[in-house]
Structure 1
Amino acid sequence: MRSTRLPASRARGTRRPRGRRARRLGDTAIAAVTVVALAAGVWLLGDTHAPPQPTAAEGRPDPGGERLTAPALPPSPPLRIRIPSIRVNAPLMGLALTSSGSLDVPPAQDKNLAGWYEAGTMPGETGTAIVAGHVDNKEGPAVFYDLGALKRDARIEIDRRDGTVAEFTVDAVEVYAASAFPDRKVYGAARRPELRVITCGGGYSKTTGYQGNVVVFAHLTGSR
């Protein structure tokens, strides 16, 4: 059964390119890649409880820019993501591009695991950091099942290897059809520390799988 495509990475051992130029190249490259499946959806065939989807009230045409932003943090790899309002508390693994140019995904069998694009921006530093995870697997809901229920101004926390916690505030939660995914808007470079959290969504069909992607737009508003 086919499922909607979405962003993710290769494996825990993937190495991150060094230096600012490598991060800029990563941000540019990801804007042109296709995305790998972040959902199975099979369990939905016998269940009426589809993942929640964002409402128009949580969307915003052009996130970024005018809201209060905390100073950027030094680079440090992320270890864990927490989203208290939807009860997410999950470890992060490194994600890389596959040989075909897609962002690979975390192992589907681990329901409580998300990944970050480690050739790109680290969460907390200037630029657009990418986190992706499954909405479900063959057994049922996974780490980002409730991502579509997230509200504007909700808090996202990223634990980092240097012991700091990067605190992000949600600017918008939107859903896009897979055929019209706005690569540049989602993956494009940013002048401040921003975060995107992505999973599958947009309705489900047993013939085509999930028909789109839920995307959370957030920016850094604090650290501790």
Structure 2
Amino acid sequence: MRGRRSVGDAAIAAATVLAVCCGAWLLHSGGETHAPPQPSPAQAGAASPDTGSGGPRTGPRDPLHAAALALAPSPPDRIRIPSIRVDAPLMGLGLTRNGSLDVPPAGRENLAGWYEAGTTPGETGTAIVAGHVDDADGPAVFYRLGALRKGSTIEVARRDGGTALFSVYAVEVYDAKGFPDEKVYGPAARPELRVITCGGGYSRTTGYRGNVVVFAHLTGSR
């Protein structure tokens, strides 16, 4: 499957972890008492089936939240996650000169971004949203992402006037050295969403050790 991704997706898979876990993402005080919540093992997802060797992923079956038909492409403008009180505008993100995913400005704590050269949230494929967990002044937009639970709803307001509704089916944390790029960024046969921030423990010398990743799929729109 690695060879079937676009150049942009391959670049993100190789370098995103480095891009989103440096500099302004460090804890305000550097103390563990202020560490953001991390997902429990109970929120991890089952292995995602696919259509065969190298085939597109479909994600696990979810009898309570059936997959909805894909929407036409439209850029997203805002992300809302009611259960963890997220309501934030989205900016477009590109790649840095070294090929890693760029991040929103460190001083904009309530701002997230989406990879605008990839899939738009709601269309078939894997859409990527990223945001800071904290900055030099304290918690940022995705500080509580690790507290999200299976079955939670993510709303993405789109520029076409509609809102794509996603159901969370897994919340996982990965160490930077073992980040599963294919699982997170690989192609999908249905509309999928990944929401990413820093996590996985914190070191005063190196910052966050990994990433929290939310896996969700489209279950409706309005």
Deviations, residues 165-213 of structure 1 (Å, cap 9, x unaligned):
0000001000000111000000001000000000000111101111110
Q: Which residue of 2 aligns with 1:26?
A: 8
> Partner of 2:30: helix, strand, or coil?
helix
TM-score by length of 1: 0.86
Could you give the per-residue CA deviations for residues 12-59 of structure 1, whole angstroms, max 9, x where no partner exists?
xxxxxxxxxxx9553344333344135532413357221000000000
Match of 1:121 among 119, 122, 134: 119
Q: Structure 1 residues 136, 193: CA separation in 2 closer, same or farther (over 3 Å shift)? A: same
Are the equivalent residues in 2 in contact too, given 1:157–1:167 (CA < 8 A)? yes
- Where do 4+ consecutive residues of structure 1 move more than 4 Å? none
Alpha-carbon distance in 1 for matches of 2:179, 2:67: 26
Equivalent residue, structure 1, for 2:215: 217
Q: Which amino acid aligns with 1:55?
A: S
How far apart, in 1, do the equivalents of 2:7 and 2:186 lie? 11
Residue equivalent to 2:56: none
Look up the equivalent residue of 1:84 and give its one-letter code. Answer: P
Post-superposition CA distance 1:110-129 (Å, at most 9, x none): 00000000000000000000
- 1:174-213 paired onto structure 2 within 5 Å: 174-213=172-211
Q: Distance in 2 between matches of 1:151 and 1:223?
A: 21
* Counterpart for residue 159 of structure 2: 161
C-alpha change, 1:37 and 1:30, in structure 2 (3 Å) is: closer
Please, what TM-score do these two structures have when normalized by structure 2? Answer: 0.86
Q: Which residue does 1:104 correspond to in 2?
A: 102
Question: How much identity, in percent, do the aligned residues show?
Answer: 69
Residue deviations 1:151-178 (CA, integer Å, cap 9, x gap): 0000000000000000000010000001
1:37 pairs, out of 20, 28, 31, with 20
User: Which one is further off, 66-75 or 105-114?
Assistant: 66-75
- Aligned partners of 2:103, 2:25: CA distance in 1, in Å? 12
Is the CA contact 1:44–1:50 (under 8 Å) kept in the aligned structure 2? no
Q: Secondary structure at the match of 1:186?
A: helix
Contiguous gaps of at least 5 residues in structure 1: 1-22
RMSD of the TM alignment (CA)?
A: 1.6
1:106 and 1:132 map into 2 onto residues whose CA distance is: 8
Superimposed CA distance per residue, residues 87-143 of structure 1 (whole angstroms, 9 cap, x where no aligned partner) = 000000000011101000000100000000000000000000000000000000000
Partner of 1:45, secondary structure, is coil
The answer as to 2:58 corresponding to 1:58 is no
Whole-Å separation in 1 of the counterparts to 2:81 and 2:29: 24
**1:69 aligned to 67, 72, 79, which one?**
67
Distance in 1 (CA, whole Å) between partners of 2:106 and 2:184 is: 23
Q: Is contact 1:28-1:188 (8 Å) kept?
A: no
Paired residues of 1:33 and 1:101 also in contact (CA < 8 A): yes
Which of 65-74 and 184-193 deviates more?
A: 65-74
